[in-house]
């Protein structure tokens, strides 16, 4: 009889261990997939900026940029070594900067992922605000949807080597 209980308890412990390992692997896989999607979206955004840059003056393009919760910030800068200390106020106030390097930083990383731009680009800081500051993200989480911020952007070439990015309304 004690041997039977030993097998039952051992089976439960092994089952919980297998479940925990599987859950961890699936979680890591989901986060990596979301990071890969963010990198793809970042590269696509960079390509669109370059396309507008090589076009005629007043050339513009409407685009949508999806920023998942793993992304801390997307912005233009000349300092590709040192990440920004704080970004929440810059994102909230839609502060702009004008530089030739487009950068993205993930929440769990200290490094910046940057790409050079042909034109000087003026654009706002973009990223996900904490749930307490962004009702859209809060509602998405309540509904069980992925916390993703969607930016509807207008890319416009304003001068010879100047591109301006503005946040607009949802695309039709």
pLDDT digits (tens, 9 = 90+) for 23-82: 999 988 988 988 999 999 999 999 999 999 999 999 999 999 999 889 999 999 999 888
108, two tokens: 């769990």
Per-residue model confidence as pLDDT tens digits over 144-154: 888 888 899 99
Domain layout of the chain by residue ranges = 2-167
Tell me, yes or no, if the pTM score tops 0.85. no
Q: Please state the three-class secondary structure of 20-45 as a single string.
A: HHHHHHHHHHHHHHHHHHHHHHHHHH
């Amino acid at each position: 009889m004690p041997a039977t209980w030993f097998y039952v308890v051992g089976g439960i412990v092994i089952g919980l261990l297998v479940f925990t390992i599987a859950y961890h692997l699936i979680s890591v896989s989901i986060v990596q997939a979301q990071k890969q999607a963010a990198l793809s979206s970042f590269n696509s955004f960079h390509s669109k900026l370059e396309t507008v840059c090589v076009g005629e003056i007043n050339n513009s393009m409407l685009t949508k940029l999806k920023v998942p919760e793993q992304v801390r910030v997307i912005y233009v800068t000349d300092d590709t070594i040192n990440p920004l200390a704080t970004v929440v106020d810059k994102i909230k106030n839609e502060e702009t900067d004008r530089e030739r390097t487009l950068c993205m930083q993930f929440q769990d990383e200290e490094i910046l992922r940057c790409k050079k731009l042909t034109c000087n680009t003026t654009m706002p800081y973009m990223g996900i605000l904490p749930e307490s500051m962004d009702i859209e993200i809060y509602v998405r989480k309540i509904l069980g949807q992925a916390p993703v911020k969607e930016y509807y952007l207008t890319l416009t070439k304003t001068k010879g080597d100047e591109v301006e990015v503005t946040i607009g309304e949802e695309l039709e």
